[in-house]
Amino acid sequence: MLRTTVLPGTPCATPRPGDVPLHRLEIAGPGAAPFAAGSFDAVGPLARDPGPHRHTFYEIVHVTAGSGTHVVDLARWPLRPPHLAVIRPGQVHHWEADRDLAGTLALFTEDFLVDHPGDRDVLRRLGERCWFRLDAEQDARIGRLMGELVAEHGDRAPGYESVLRSLLHVLVVRAARLPEQAPVPGAGSGGRTLAVAEAFARLLADRRESAAWTVGEWTVRECADRLGVTPGYLTQSVRAATGRSPGRLLIEARTHQAQRLLAHTELSVRQVAARTGFDDPAYFSRFFRRETGTSPGAFRKHHSRPHQSLEGAETRA
């Protein structure tokens, strides 16, 4: 995994227009382990960032005090500590209206899991569940593990990376045993699913009206990034609401854009292909025929109205 860790003082990755800010993990120096652990205060102000953002790394948070809401991929989780939160790379989250937020964080990139590669799949599943309420015994056991991670990371004694990986593996396994907590009523899976599907529909509708936008520029993953959810969750939400996948809807939007350009502009077929994200005009023609049942030239012949306003004036005369 490249460019996921940076030296102290390196600014966050500059997002493209419309993208959610992307935070990268700072490391102590060249060759240092892509891992960090500490309290909210020790990690720094971005640990409590109130603005939606993404990471290039995993974040496990043991929340021990505070009030407010933790928002992850549009789901709202009330703070009633103690909690454990697991945030995957690419998920969008922020802390909302928090007061006296306290706890311990462990931050690490996927390549830090080299000793226990199976933990990657476990962490992906934990990220889907995200938020875990802890009873007194669970809180104590998680607290001890997090404390050991912080101490080992701070001491950097010989062999500390192996110890960190072992402790992290135990933490991941124990987190996988925790029962799942439900999000705030009204913002659960059903309401959240509908909200994501509606946001995707608005995204397509808004962009169809933007002359500067090319449908072919976006993939399902890029749409998911703009909406602050994972590609899998976007697909699940859109399919549940419409019966079709977001990929299918993107294809239909691309086809609609091509039809509009053919019917209402004098752009050549090659130019229309380029405007809709095709480098190869022949491939665009095959795509268009597959989706509409006719060629771009035949469609233009039967639907083109390049001078519709003038024709209307002559008719009225």
Residues 82-110 pLDDT 10s: 999 999 888 878 898 889 999 999 999 98
Q: What's the rounded Cα separation, in Å, for the pair 69 and 81? A: 11
**SS3 per-residue string spanning 257-271:** HHHHHHHHCCCCHHH
Mean pLDDT (whole number) for 28-53: 86
Neighbours of 158 (CB within 10 A): 8
* pLDDT at position 214: 54
Owner of token pair 């001491």: 155
- The pLDDT of residue 307 is 39
Is the bond leading into 82 cis (omega within 30 degrees of zero)? Answer: yes
Cα–Cα distance, 111 to 4 (Å, whole number): 9
Written as one string, the DSSP assignment of 110-131 is: GGGGTT-TTHHHHHHHHHHH-E
- Mean pLDDT, residues 201-230 taken together: 71
Whether 5-176 shares its CATH topology with 189-311 is answered: no
Number of neighbours of residue 126 by Cβ within 10 angstroms: 24
Cα 6 to Cα 12, 46, 56, 105: the distances in Å are 9, 15, 11, 18
**Residue 290: pLDDT band with limits 50, 70, 90:** very high
Of 100, 102, 54, nearest to 82 (Cα)? 102
- What are the helix (H) ranges across 156-245? 160-176, 189-208, 220-227, 231-242
Domain boundaries, the chain: 5-176, 189-311
User: What band does 275 get if pLDDT is binned at 50, 70 and 90?
Assistant: confident
Q: Is the pLDDT score of 278 beyond 60? A: yes
Q: Which amino acid is residue 94, in one-letter code?
A: H
pLDDT tens sequence across 172-210:
999 999 986 655 433 444 566 777 887 888 777 666 555
- The tokens for 273 are 């292909």
* CATH architecture, domain defined by 5-176: Sandwich (2.60)
> Residue 15 — very low, low, confident or very high, per pLDDT cuts 50/70/90?
low
Confidence band of 308 (pLDDT split at 50, 70, 90): very low
Judged by DSSP in three states, 109 sits in coil
Please tell me the class of the 189-311 domain. mainly alpha
Interval 115-127: pLDDT, tens: 888 999 899 889 8
